[in-house]
Amino acid sequence: MAVELTQDGDFAVLTLNRPQALNALSFQILKDIGAAIDAVAGMNVRALLVTGAGDKAFCAGADIKELRNRPLVDQKDGAELGQSVFAKLDRLPVASVALVNGYAFGGGAELAMACTFRLAAPNAIFGLPEVKLGLIPGYGGTQRLPRLVGEGRALEIIMTGRNVKADEAERIGLVNAVIEGDLMQAGRDFAGKFTRYSLPVLNFARRAVARAGDTTLAAGLEIEADLSTLAYRLNDAEEGMAAFEEKRKPEFKDA
């Protein structure tokens, strides 16, 4: 299977498993990723870890060999397929962490950027090299990269198609951390810092922060007021505040 979904304790692990083509995204693989993300929503897990098989690439992007000689309408469908599959990660009830172990180019960088968080191995190299193919990014790169690193940096990376190595990716905010050693364990440790908290509360936080990039400050503050108020309706809010007063650890129930 070119897309594998397994469970490892509290974590779902989605592995792109096509190392002979540097885990390039055929249209079938994109559809399989979509089905896997849908399946994660029904699993009893608290975070999703996304990785690429092999030690060379997270994912080298869309399968270039499938992109040629297609009617324009199919090209548009392809972009919308990639965008809609990656957008599933936004709506997933658990946060996702991309574990970038090597190249993350084009659609691969776009998949990583669609995850909630990104950790990079020291050999990780990001890039949106579509200009070199006479193209521009089509699976969300022109929208998510500026939200992560700012418009000026994003345009420069997109218009030059240059490589962004792990240390620069960390410096500009493209990744949360560069990890020496076991990236999968680092992913579990990273996610473990929030997975003990109430899932609906974490989702309120994700939804509020997601709006920061596409609303006015006034509208964003209203959303924050609504979602932060909604949190008081949860038993977990009562439990968290009671535990504070009683000087004990809270026992959240995701409700």
Q: Which stretch binds ligand CAA (CB under 6 A): 30-38, 125-133, 174-182, 183-191?
A: 125-133
| Tokens 């030059």, residue located | 160
The residues with which 7 forms a beta bridge, in sequence order, are: 12
Instruction: State which of residues 58, 86, 105, 117 lies at the interface with ligand CAA (CB under 6 A).
Output: 105
Catalytic residue status for 246: no
The residues with which 126 forms a beta bridge, in sequence order, are: 104, 164
Q: Which stretch binds ligand CAA (CB under 6 A): 5-13, 36-44, 60-68, 246-254?
A: 60-68
Q: Tell me if 164 contacts ligand CAA by CB under 6 A.
A: no
Catalytic residue status for 245: no
Question: Which one of the listed residues 4, 66, 80, 130 is annotated catalytic?
Answer: 130
CA distance linking residue 219 with residue 212, whole number of Å: 9
CA distance linking residue 218 with residue 137, whole number of Å: 31
Q: Tell me if 22 contacts ligand CAA by CB under 6 A.
A: yes
For ligand CAA (CB under 6 A), the number of binding residues is 23
* Cα angle: 104, vertex 136, 177; to 5 degrees: 30
Beta strands in the chain (DSSP E): 3-8, 11-16, 47-52, 57-59, 95-100, 103-105, 117-120, 125-127, 164-165, 177-178
Q: Cβ of residue 12: shortest distance to ligand CAA, in angstroms?
A: 24
Q: Which stretch binds ligand CAA (CB under 6 A): 9-17, 33-41, 98-106, 166-174?
A: 98-106
Q: Tell me if 106 contacts ligand CAA by CB under 6 A.
A: yes
Residue 141's contacts (CB-CB under 8 Å, 6 or more residues apart) are 106, 109, 110, 113, 128, 130, 158
| Residues marked as catalytic | 110, 130
Residues that bind ligand CAA (CB under 6 A): 21-22, 24, 60-65, 82, 103, 105-107, 110, 129-130, 133, 135, 137-139, 141
